[in-house]
């Protein structure tokens, strides 16, 4: 596993593990993520990260948008996703 630290408003501790915060545009593994700017749940299936596959999503903004991975399973139930987020003090909006 690769460990990296960036000098921005987020910390990237591990690009593959759960409860890791990464920039939105650097999601490289399927799983369930929580948007740190809104608390929304993102489900990223394997097809969502495969190059050349759709849908591809591009969000543009002035500030860096980060997400926190809460599960390797993109289809985690909403109830379990809320419990995992609460265990790590991550605000939710779903």
Note the pLDDT tens digit of each residue in 35-50: 999 999 999 999 888 8
pLDDT for the residue 55 = 65
Query: Residue 47 and residue 56: Cα distance in Å, rounded?
Result: 10
What phi and psi, each to the nearest 5 degrees, are found at residue 87? -60, -25
Q: Against a cut of 0.85, is the pTM above it?
A: no
Query: Residue 17 and residue 4: Cα distance in Å, rounded?
Result: 13
What's 20's DSSP letter?
Answer: -
Cα radius of gyration (the chain): 13
Task: State the average pLDDT over residues 17-28.
Answer: 88
- From the number of C-beta atoms within 10 Å of its C-beta (0-12, 13-18, 19+), residue 13 rates as middle
Domains in the chain: boundaries:
21-87
């Amino acid at each position: 596993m690769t460990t990296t630290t960036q000098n921005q408003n987020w910390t990237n501790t591990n690009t593959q593990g759960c409860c890791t915060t990464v920039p939105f545009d650097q999601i490289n593994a399927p799983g369930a993520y929580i948007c740190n700017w809104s608390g929304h749940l993102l489900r990223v299936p394997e097809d969502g990260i495969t190059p050349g596959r759709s849908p591809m999503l591009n969000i543009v903004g002035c500030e860096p948008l980060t997400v926190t991975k809460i599960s390797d399973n993109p289809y985690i139930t909403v109830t379990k996703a809320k419990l995992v987020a609460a265990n790590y003090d991550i605000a939710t909006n779903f």
